[in-house]
């Protein structure tokens, strides 16, 4: 799966949140300083070519929606980070984040609970 540029990712975040959108709606949701309408339109056309978006003609304009769900894209990106930076080791990756983030006891307990519940489902 192709990787999104920073600007493409900003647009996809809006479309994932709205589920479908016209270009003007995407522009309205972007943070200041807002890019020009034509810039957003060009980026959306690129996202269609890359296979991230599809369009539906409504009158004179197109409404766009994501083909690739955010969860699928996120999983692919995390998998790539795990492989590239942590030798494909989930424990090493989790240890890195546990050390970098100043986790509270409650957050640690929450993570342990998630891991235990996942392991119990396998048994």
Average pLDDT over residues 39-47: 97
| Whether the predicted pLDDT of 51 surpasses 60 | yes
Give residues with Cβ within 8 angstroms of 55, minimum separation 6: 48, 62, 63, 64
Helices 70-86, 6-18: axis angle to 10 degrees equals 140
**C-alpha–C-alpha distance, residues 56 and 47, integer Å:** 14
Average pLDDT over residues 15-32: 96
| Whether the predicted pLDDT of 122 surpasses 70 | no
**C-alpha–C-alpha distance, residues 75 and 18, integer Å:** 20
**C-alpha–C-alpha distance, residues 91 and 71, integer Å:** 21
Mean pLDDT (the chain) is: 92
Residue in this structure with the two tokens 């006891």, named with its chain if needed:
105
| Whether the predicted pLDDT of 119 surpasses 80 | no
Which fold is adopted by the domain 6-66? Arc Repressor Mutant, subunit A (1.10.10)
Residue 20 CB burial class (10 angstroms; 0-12, 13-18, ≥19):
middle
| Contact in structure between 14 and 62 (CB atoms under 8 Å) | no
- Reported as a single tens digit per residue, the pLDDT across 55-113 is 999 999 999 999 999 999 999 999 999 999 999 998 898 888 888 888 888 988 888 88
Which sequence spans correspond to the domains of the chain?
Answer: 6-66, 70-122
**pTM across the whole model:** 0.80
| Contact in structure between 1 and 68 (CB atoms under 8 Å) | yes
């Amino acid at each position: 799966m192709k990787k999104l540029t920073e600007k493409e990712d900003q647009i996809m975040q809006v479309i994932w949140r709205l589920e479908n959108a016209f270009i003007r709606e995407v522009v309205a949701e972007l943070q200041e300083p807002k890019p020009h309408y034509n810039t957003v339109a060009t980026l959306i056309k690129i996202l269609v070519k890359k296979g991230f978006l599809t369009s539906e003609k409504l009158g004179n304009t197109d409404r766009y929606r994501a083909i690739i769900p955010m969860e699928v894209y996120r999983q692919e990106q995390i998998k790539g980070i795990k492989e590239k930076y942590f030798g494909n080791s989930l424990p090493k990756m989790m240890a890195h984040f546990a050390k970098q983030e100043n986790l509270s006891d409650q957050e640690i307990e929450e993570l342990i609970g998630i891991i235990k519940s996942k392991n119990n489902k396998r048994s």
